A and B are shown apart, each in its own frame.
Chain A
Amino acid sequence: MSVLVYAESSDGKFKKIAFEATSYGKKVAEIAQTNMVVLTINADDASELKNYGAEKILTVNNDRLNTFNAKAYADVIKQAVEKEGADIVVIDSSSNGLYLAPLVAGSLNAGYASNVLDVPESVSPFVVKRKAFSSKANNHSELTTNIKILGLAKNSFGLVESAGAGAEENFEPSLEDADFRITSKSIDKATGKVTIADADIIVSGGRGLKGPENWHLIEDLGEVLGAATACSKPVADMGWRPHSEHVGQTGKPVTSNLYIAVGISGAIQHLAGVNAAKCKVVINTDPEAPFFKAADYGIVGDAFEVVPKLIDKLKEFKQNQ
Chain B
Amino acid sequence: MKILVCISHVPDTTSKINFKDNDTKFDSNGVQFVINPHDEFVLTRAMWFKEKQGATVTVVNVGNVSTEPTLRKALAIGADDAIRVNAEPEDGFFVAKQLAEVAKNGNYDLIMAGKESIDYNGGMVPGLTASILDYNFVNACIGIEVEGNKATVTREIDGGKEVLETELPMVFGGQKGLVEDKDLRIPNMRGIMMARKKPLNVIEPVAFENTSKSIRFDKPVVNTTCKLIDPENVGELVDLLHNEAKVI
Residues of chain A touching chain B, judged by Cβ–Cβ distance below 8 Å, are 70-71, 94-96, 98-103, 105-107, 109-115, 127, 130-145, 151, 181-190, 193, 195, 197-198, 200-201, 225, 237, 243-244, 249-251, 257-258, 268-269, 272, 275, 278-279, 281-282, 292-302, 305-306, 309-310, 313-314, 317
Contact = CB atoms under 8 A, between A and B. Distances in A.
Decide if the interface of chain A is mainly helix, strand, loop or mixed. Answer: mixed
A44 B235 CA distance: 43
Nearest to A276: B220
A130 B220 CA distance: 11
B160 interface: yes
B157 A281 contact: no
B214 A106 contact: no
B163 A184 contact: yes
B87 interface: no
7 smallest A-B Cβ distances: which pairs? A106-B131, A102-B127, A301-B231, A111-B211, A189-B160, A195-B159, A258-B247
A102 B37 CA distance: 21
A279 B218 contact: no
16 contacts: A70-B137, A71-B136, A95-B157, A103-B130, A112-B93, A130-B121, A132-B120, A133-B118, A138-B219, A139-B120, A143-B211, A181-B167, A183-B164, A268-B13, A279-B241, A298-B229
Contact of B238 (A136, A294, A314): A314
Contacts of A141: 91, 212-215
A105 B131 CA distance: 8
A114 B124 contact: yes
A114 B235 CA distance: 40
B156 interface: yes
B227 A296 contact: yes
Interface in B229-248: 229-231, 234-235, 237-238, 240-242, 245, 247-248
B205 interface: no
A201 B238 CA distance: 14
B219 A137 contact: yes
Contacts of A317: 238, 242, 248
B241 A184 contact: no
The size bracket of the interface on B is 35 or more
A94 B160 CA distance: 13
A257 B246 CA distance: 9
B235 A115 contact: no
B131 A70 contact: no
Interface in B44-72: none
Contacts of A105: 93, 124, 127-128, 131
A275 to B, nearest CB: 7
Contact of B152 (A185, A300, A302): A185
A142 to B, nearest CB: 5
A183 B216 CA distance: 42
A187 B234 contact: no
